[in-house]
Amino acid sequence: MTDSHAGLARWTPVRLEFSGPAPVVYWADLSSERFVDPFFDQTIARWAAGPHARPVVRTGLEALDVLDGEPSLEPAGMIFHLSRCGSTLVSRLLGTLPGVVVVSEPSPLNTLLGLGPGQIEDATLVRLVRLVVRALGRRRHGDEQRLVLKCTSWNIRRRAILAAAFPETPWIWVQREPARVLASLLAMPPGWLRLQATPQHAAQRFGLDPVTIPAMTRPEFAASVLAAMLDAAATDPSGRLCVDYSELPDAIWQSAASHFGIEANDAAIERMRFESRFYAKSLIRQPFSGDSPQLRPLTDDMREAARRFVEPGYRALAGDCRLP
């Protein structure tokens, strides 16, 4: 290890940039933090506003290679999901288990998986994904035993890259009745919904026909994206466990933990049962009371878009879930 990188041994890559003349990795000293927030970026924001914040350090990509010899965890499991279907509950409850570290939707990984084919070769991308995930799984405290990586919803379209980087890692696919997912997405739009305004980008990320995108209604575009995610989840089912929203939270301790090789004793299960009573995406404890029809009304357009575009893929995978 070079002297210039020695001080970064326990630091964490928090941002990658590929827009300049050379790629840049931004490192933060998170040695005082735990990944206990619902999402990776929330942990970074909390650290940046707290008493332990230090200036980030910029390096080139070579630092990922140089530092890869540091003690790190490779993912024991990955969570992929259809969006708004309980995947954050899965990741947060697994994160209550002793020794389990959950890194949820990390922006450095999203940056890599968002690179187009003209920006990077697949072999290089696989290598960088492996290095970044291992750097995110650095054993910073010494008590870490298992790493769980929760991916952003659209990452399922790039699962082949993650599978090539970690071919032995099992994965979970979490899904939900499509009309309910659509209602939630349209009430609180995710970033990828804005891609309808740039059809070429939408086509690249989701495999849609760019000619048809401008004429789609908003529900149709969202439903088409969900269908593309389901198609990707149905590809190469090796190592896959399907979990439906209707099975939660019980499926987390009945099947998800063991699928990742993680043991959960009676005390751990009781703790998960208790934590499942709270809203998983809230930074403060807030009782979860289910979806509010007033906040997420289902319209005929949503139902029709779900029926036309999403239901076939959802039902095909539902056969692998234990629906009631």
Domain residue spans of the chain: 3-318
Q: pLDDT for 192-240, tens place per residue?
A: 999 999 999 999 999 999 999 999 999 999 999 999 999 999 999 999 9
Query: Among 120-129, 241-250, 277-286, whose mean pLDDT is lowest?
Result: 277-286
Alpha helices in 208-286 (DSSP H): 218-234, 250-251, 257-259, 266-275
Closest CA to 148 of 26, 61, 287, 241: 241
In this prediction, residue 242 carries a pLDDT of 97
Q: Give every CB contact of residue 313 below 8 A, 6+ residues apart in sequence.
A: 226, 227, 230, 231, 233, 234
Q: What percent of the chain has pLDDT over 70?
A: 95
One-letter amino acid of 173:
W
Say yes or no to pLDDT of 255 above 60. Answer: yes
User: Which listed CATH number (1.20.1270, 3.40.50, 3.30.460, 3.10.20) goes with 3-318?
Assistant: 3.40.50
Q: Compute the distance between CA of residue 314 and CA of residue 81 in angstroms, rounded to an integer.
A: 12
Q: What contacts 146, CB < 8 A, 6 or more positions away? A: 73, 76, 97, 99, 100, 101, 260, 261, 262
Model confidence at 323: pLDDT above 70: no
pTM: 0.95
Sheet containing 75-81: order of strands: 100-104, 146-150, 75-81, 171-175, 240-244
Among 295, 306, 317, which residue's Cα sits nearest to residue 225? 306
